[in-house]
Amino acid sequence: MKTLVLAALLLTTATASAQTQRWEYGLLTANIGPTPAKSGFFWEAGGLVNFSPGSTAALLKRIAGAEYASLKNPSTSTALLNDLGSQGWELVEATATRADRTDHNSWFFKRPVR
């Protein structure tokens, strides 16, 4: 009987914790067009949007701030994703579409509210 009560108590506590978890969401978008002027990278989180025409490195510099100088190979897309991961962002979905000769790629992230 004690085991059953303890199991019920643990389940109730785990359920309550799961219900109170709050998340914030981020969106990374890459629009790759036929010319650099039609291309750009966007990071949106917490109501702020960072935009960089042309390269992931420029966007990473805006997102990483002072940490940018210490990053290995900051010109790669994986460097941008790794930096977001180091900030606690977890990739939850990715989409890709094409319209008007432009590739639209989006990556959706979440992390616990800080």
Site of tokens 């990715």:
94
Domain contains 4: no
Domain contains 16: no
Query: What pLDDT, in 10s, does the model give residues 14-71?
Result: 555 557 899 999 999 888 887 776 778 889 998 888 887 767 777 888 777 777 777 7
Domain contains 30: yes
Q: Does the pLDDT at position 11 exceed 70?
A: no
Domain contains 82: yes
- Taking the C-alpha atoms of residue 110 and residue 88, their distance in angstroms, rounded to an integer, is 8
Residue spans of beta strands (DSSP E) within 1-114 = 23-32, 40-45, 48-52, 90-99, 102-112
Q: Taking the model in full, what pTM does it have?
A: 0.69
Domain contains 88: yes
Tokens (6 digits) for 83: 């930096």
Domain that holds residue 82: 23-112
Domain contains 49: yes
As for how many domains the chain has, the answer is 1
**What pLDDT, on a 0 to 100 scale, did the predictor assign at position 70?**
74
